[in-house]
Amino acid sequence: MAQRYDAGEVITAMVTPFNKDFSIDFTGLEKLVKHLINNGSDTLLVAATTGESPTLTLDEEMELLKFVKGVVGTKAKIIMSTGSNCTETAVEQSKRVAQAGGADAILSVVPYYNKPSQSGLINHFTQIAQSVDLPVLLYNIPGRTGINMLPETIATIAEKNPNVFGVKQSNGDLDQVSEIILNCPQDFTVLSGDDSLTLPMLSLGARGVVSVASHIIGKEIKQMIRLFKLGKVNEAAALHASFYPTFKKIFMAPNPVPIKAALNKLGFISDTVRNPLVTLTETEKEELFKVLHI
């Protein structure tokens, strides 16, 4: 059997820039994409939570995919978020993305709000995986979905569906990371969904990170991962320690509000977010920029 898909070590969960009237800022998006592919990102994740997917229309998501692909070309890979808490919707959007072209893989989140059983999750993701030829990345984030996808569930999905190449694991449970790696096929990829847990998860066998901090310190995160894999653990740990305050502070408010504020300060895009999210106060911005040294 062919080796499963490899998304690389640093996957940036990219923000969606908006103009002041809340329309998509494609000028800012082009500037941001070029910055990311030149600063450590192996792959760009489009229209996921950091990209404010809850407030994007399906047509806007497809516009984003087409535009980002046009800018990226072959310089980086693209993963498109197609998840939904409705299996039929997730399948249809996955098919739409596959037919449109431009995406190298898709991301599908654990269904939120309706809280399916573990067998329901196996059924949900199997239907999605079998509906397309694209590689599929699972996304486990109990804090947003209300349920935790168990290691044995992930293993069952991976064994049944060879195009399910990995999981973005965002529940903070390092024991669960170990159990996923022990139970899943050897070529299955575990990615940290939390910047601050990247190094600890690497030590357990994770491949890399789906990062928010890589918008501003992508090269540094890439260097930390490379150092660890070269056996220079103390140097990797020193980098982790130096950027740990940044990893935590960019989540001082609901994501992607703080990272958009940082990108605005650095001159890339507006800090505009769509309702119901709101921008940081001036006091909060000062607090953020002090920690980020910008």
Query: Is 168 one of the catalytic residues?
Result: yes
Residues 10, 112: Cα–Cα separation, whole Å: 26
Query: Is 5 one of the catalytic residues?
Result: no
Please tell me which residue in 5, 69, 77, 168 is annotated as part of the active site.
Answer: 168
- Could you identify the residue written with the tokens 């080796």? 3
Please tell me which residue in 139, 222, 249, 260 is annotated as part of the active site.
Answer: 139
Q: In this structure, are strands 164-169 and 77-81 parallel, antiparallel, or unpaired? A: unpaired
Residues with Cβ within 8 Å of residue 219, at least 6 apart in sequence: 39, 40
Q: Catalytic residues, which ones?
A: 139, 168
